Amino acid sequence: MIGRIRDVVAGLRPGQPPRVHGMVVEVQPRRRVFLPITRVRGIEAGAVVFTGRLNVRRFEQRATEVLVIGQLLDLTVRVEEQPMIVYDLAMEEARPQEWAITKVAVVKRRRRDPRIVDWSEVSGFDTLQADQGAAGVIAAFESMRAADLAGALRDLPDKRRVEVAAALDDNRLADVLEELDPREQMDILGALPPERAADVLEEMGPDDAADFLQDLPEQQAARLLALMEPREAEPVRRLLTYDEDTAGGIMTSEPVILPPTATVAEALAHIRHRDLTPAVAAQVYVTRPPNETPTGTYLGMTHFQRLLREPPSTLLGASVDGSVDPIRPSLTLAETTAYLAYYNLVAVPVVDELGHLVGAVTVDDVLDHLLPAGWRESTEVDSGA
């Protein structure tokens, strides 16, 4: 397997069905490239077979081209003078190595009974619409991981990107925004009403929300913070007090924290939570109450491998690893990176001068800040075709 088909590229032609130019293929790591339709030798259930080599230069859409899934789904068109919504499209091979979009499935605005018509029976594809829906696109992207959906949004035209992003629920949009660069985050959140933008920031991790707000003008950031729920805004405010390139500026303020009286079984139940990243779930931090940052006195940490070796009824206070010293929030990014590398750690606790746990720096936090700006778009891959 070389990659996954993410969209079809076609060219609109006056009075004729759009000619298919090729397909957008996603290859690792999350890079979208163009596969000419002339290279395709077979389309089967679950597979597209092609010949030759795949050019791994990043796909760039031309002004005369459209993305069939990304741009044509959810358009309002007219069939027999009745407004309808595009639900799906079909392409077929007109002659060897020449494909065209020939059929359109349409539905009425409040019904989901698709009606399939020929392309020639539909009008309105060439009309610019002020507010195109996004239900069909979201359904097509539903099974994608947040990082893959972020890549799909990145390839859409600006207007369509905002429409699709705005149609996602707050939690899904927050996950996707965490995978985008700051400029792309600003484009999307800036197009939302301030109240909706604040709701999405509440769903983001405090460290990601703080990173976003740091790039905004001070007045705009303060307004969004004021619109957030106080409980959600407080950890973000604390993170904003630290310099961006320090342990405090890159840490997460929501690691897994439990008291010493909790059992190994309870700890394992906490780290099984599906919303935790592997780096965050790799260790449990043990503190005196309160067990939310900033916590009571920090006692130590225990790694998930240690938890797997202990009887479920063992108290965490008896399985703390005291060999890992916490770091201070003022430690620089370079010093924090060196500390993680020297001791082969995936995360390190961050403790203030009073001995309270204020967060944890994970390997993915460090990588996000070490990689150059725009790395998500510029990552190169080798051809494997």
Query: What does the pLDDT read at residue 383?
Result: 35
Please list, in sequence order, all residues whose beta carbon lies within 8 angstroms of the beta carbon of residue 6, skipping any fewer than 6 positions away. 24, 25, 26, 32, 69, 151, 152
The residue assigned the tokens 């290279």 is 39
Judged against a pLDDT cut of 50, whether residue 382 lies above it is answered with: no
* Total length of the chain: 385
Reported as a pLDDT band with limits 50, 70 and 90, residue 373 is low
- 65 belongs to a structural domain: yes
- 265 belongs to a structural domain: yes
Q: Among 98, 123, 148, give the residue marking a domain's end.
A: 123
- 153: domain CATH number is 1.25.60.10
- 23 belongs to a structural domain: yes
Residues 156, 91, single domain; the answer is no
Q: Is the dihedral of CA 376, 343, 335, 300 positive or negative?
A: positive
Burial class (CB in 10 A: 0-12, 13-18, 19+), 298: buried
Residues 233, 264, single domain; the answer is no
Residues 301, 231, single domain; the answer is no
Round to whole Å and give the CA distance between 348 and 364.
12
Lowest mean pLDDT, pick from 95-99, 235-239, 359-363: 95-99
- 355: domain CATH number is 3.10.580.10
List, in sequence order, the alpha helices (H) in 69-217: 135-140, 146-154, 158-167, 170-177, 182-190, 194-203, 206-214
Average pLDDT (323-352) is 95
Express each pLDDT in 91-133 by its tens digit. 999 888 899 999 999 998 766 778 999 999 999 887 656 667 7
Within a 10 A sphere around the Cβ of 211, how many other Cβ atoms?
Answer: 22
Round to whole Å and give the CA distance between 201 and 234.
12
- 330 belongs to a structural domain: yes
Express each pLDDT in 14-49 by its tens digit. 888 999 999 999 887 778 899 999 999 989 888 999
> How many structural domains are present in the chain?
3
Strand partners of residue 50 = 40
Residues 31, 102, single domain; the answer is yes
Residues 144, 53, single domain; the answer is no
- 329 belongs to a structural domain: yes
- 66 belongs to a structural domain: yes
The residue assigned the tokens 């796909």 is 59
Residues 348, 310, single domain; the answer is yes
Query: What does the pLDDT read at residue 110?
Result: 62
Q: Which two tokens stand for residue 369?
A: 């800040």
- 81 belongs to a structural domain: yes
Tell me what percent of the residues of the chain surpass a pLDDT of 70.
Answer: 94
Find, among 235, 236, 231, the residue nearest to 216 by Cα. Answer: 236
Element (H, E) at 236: helix 230-240
Between the two ends of the chain, the Cα-to-Cα distance in Å is 9
Residues 227, 282, single domain; the answer is no
Judged against a pLDDT cut of 70, whether residue 380 lies above it is answered with: no
Express each pLDDT in 284-332 by its tens digit. 999 999 999 999 999 999 999 999 999 999 999 999 988 889 999 999 9
- 381 belongs to a structural domain: no
Query: What does the pLDDT read at residue 111?
Result: 63
Residues 225, 308, single domain; the answer is no
Residues 82, 146, single domain; the answer is no
Element (H, E) at 225: helix 218-227
Query: What does the pLDDT read at residue 279?
Result: 92
Residues 154, 178, single domain; the answer is yes
Residues 227, 273, single domain; the answer is no
Residues 186, 233, single domain; the answer is yes
**Domain housing 218:** 139-241
